[in-house]
Each structure stands twice: as C-alpha cells, then as structure tokens.
A = this chain, B = another copy of it.
Amino acid sequence: MRLDGREFNELRPVSLHTSYLKHPEGSVLISVGDTKVICTASIDDRVPPFMRGQGKGWITAEYSMLPRATAQRNIRESSKGKVTGRTMEIQRLIGRALRSVVDLEKVGEKTIWIDCDVIQADGGTRTASITGAFVAMVLAFGKLVEENKLTEIPIRDYLAATSVGIHGENSILDLNYEEDSTAEVDMNIVMTGSGQFVELQGTGEESTFSREQLNHLLDLGEKGVYQLIEQQKEVLDHLAAYIPVKER
C-alpha cells in the first residue's frame, strides 16, 4: 500500500476545468491530486523565422512554477535573469510531445503558444502539463473551427502523459512528490490514444533498471495514459465531431 493509500496501479484524482481564463483561445486548469497547472493555448498568426514560407504551423511551449507552488519558496527565474536547465528540459518536452500528434501542414502559418504555469506542485508537474496542454490546444483549435479559420481540428490522435517509477522495489503509477523524491527509477511516458509512444524518459537516480522492470513500468504507464485520455474525451465531447481519431 502507498503513502497516500493508493494501489500501485492507481492514478490520483484528476480534474480538467476547461475555459478557466477569459483571454486565451484555449485554457484549462488541470488538477492531478494536489498538483495544479494552468495550461493555456494562444494563437499567433506568425511562425518563427526558421519556419517561414513553408506553409506549416509551429507549436512551442513554456513552463513555469509560481514561487510558492512548492513547500519551500523558489526564487523566480525572472529574478535570476535566466531559465534553469530543468525548466528548459520540460518546455522542450511539452512542445515536442504536442507537435507529434498535430498535422502542422493543416495548421497553416500559425504558432500555437502553450503556457503551463504550475500554481501548486506535488509531483508529476510535467506530465500534468502535457495532459492539460493537449486539452487547451484542442480548445484553441476548436475556436479556429468556430471562426471558420479551420475546417477540422488538425490532430492525428489524443495525447496524455503520466509518470511511473520503482519505489522500494515496487513499480508504481503516478508518483506524488514524496514518492518521486525517494524513487530509485523514474519514468515519464507520453502516449497517444491508439497506444503509440511519443516520448519515453526513464532515469535511474543513482540506480539502474533491468529490461524486465522496464516492461512492468511500460504496462503500468499505458494503463494510466488510457484513463487520462478518457477524461480528456469527456471534456472535449462537444468538439468530437471535428476530431479525426485513430483506433487503438
């Protein structure tokens, strides 16, 4: 049994509060247990210089934490004058993951800016960011459909992410902060609705893992991602007609 009473293969309670903010084209407040992230998607009618003239769109992500999202206050990156390596790694991951399920040709020369701002952190902020950002992005595309700027929502599949890990020799799903900070192995899994991998990042923290352990972790992660995608489908139900989705 786990520290918070969950089964080894049990997600924390997840909620997706869509259209949480007034200004962005798409927004969601995602809660995964005590982890809360405001995800927004903004449409910009330009693409970055290296993409110009190709007729394709681009998706870029930024990630940040409020100073007091955590138990100890963190110094703001704006005060430090630079973004940490951890932040850069996370925002590159979010952008890459979202781009893998979007048909950028169909987007046209637009940039989708994804912002994930963690207002409360309890482990799994990067995977919650991906799961929430996908919803915010689809809502923003939905708005473009509504305004007749697109005829369909240009995604190839659903996308969600969760973490798995080895903690005290047990494989567990969806680690909270306390579990995460003492786990021997930590793995982030980003998958599509049809069960394809998009990103797999497994790390032994001063530790290693075998091929067999890897297989157990992947089984757990797959199960978790499918549950998250069910919740995404519920809140995006009104847009279902515009989303061409693959079979699993």
CB distance from A88 to the nearest CB of B (A): 3
CB distance from A132 to the nearest CB of B (A): 14
In the bound assembly, the distance between CA atoms of A114 and B78 in angstroms comes to 16
Contact with B along A71-85 (1 / 0, CB 8 A): 101001111111111
Which of B68, B71, B113 interacts with A27 by CB under 8 Å?
A: B68
CB distance from A124 to the nearest CB of B (A): 15
The answer to whether residues A73 and B201 also contact, given A83-B78, A88-B85, A196-B209 and a CB cut-off of 8 A, is no
The answer to whether residues A96 and B203 also contact, given A23-B120, A70-B23, A79-B62 and a CB cut-off of 8 A, is yes
Interfacial chain B residues near A85, Cβ < 8 Å = 83, 85, 88-89, 91-92
Q: A69 an interface residue at 8 Å Cβ cutoff? A: yes
Q: Which residue of B lies closest to A99 (CB)?
A: B206
Interfacial chain B residues near A205, Cβ < 8 Å = 96, 100
Contact with B along A45-63 (1 / 0, CB 8 A): 0000000000000000010
Interfacial chain B residues near A22, Cβ < 8 Å = 34, 120, 122
Q: A240 an interface residue at 8 Å Cβ cutoff? A: no
Residues of A within 8 A of B (CB): 21-24, 27, 34, 38, 40, 42, 44, 62, 64, 66-71, 73, 76-89, 91-92, 96, 99-101, 104, 113, 115, 117, 119-120, 122, 157, 187, 192, 195-211, 214, 218
